[in-house]
Amino acid sequence: MTLKYTKDHEWLRQEADATLVTVGITVHAQDALGDVVFVDLPEVGKSFAQGEVAGVVESVKAAADVFMPVSGEIVEVNEALRADPSLANSAPMDAGWFFKVRLADAAQLAALLDQTAYDAFAAES
């Protein structure tokens, strides 16, 4: 499974079905936000273009938009995260995922950051 990152501090993991990706916020993002208290997740079935706001995450410090890292249709949202937003802090790369997307254009994945490039970017921001 391929793991990619955006400069907006979202991660996405390409699943066994290569047309499906899981999206969440990075460890760096949740560290910057502090304790997450609310998430606004997108509607299943809704399509977004790459870069559009697909959700919001609110913490005790701030609110931040969650941007769509690739164009596609929302096929599932993490109801456990909606019920317990602190999962974005305790397990941002696992149980704290936000939504799953059916890719509209798999070529968009190539332009995203790999682990090394993201780590370098996050260290500077």
Would you say residue 20 lies in a domain?
yes
pLDDT tens for 5-64 read: 999 999 999 999 989 999 999 999 999 999 999 999 999 999 999 999 999 999 999 999
Q: Which domain holds residue 93?
A: 3-105
| CATH number for the domain harbouring residue 19 | 2.40.50.100
- Cβ 101 vs Cβ 76: under 8 Å: no
Write down the pLDDT at residue 70.
97
Structural domains in the chain (count): 1
Whether the predicted pLDDT of 1 surpasses 90: no
Would you say residue 28 lies in a domain?
yes
pTM, two decimal places: 0.95
Would you say residue 125 lies in a domain?
no
pLDDT tens for 78-100 read: 999 999 999 999 999 999 999 99
φ, ψ for residue 15, nearest 5 deg = -90, 180
Whether the predicted pLDDT of 125 surpasses 90: no
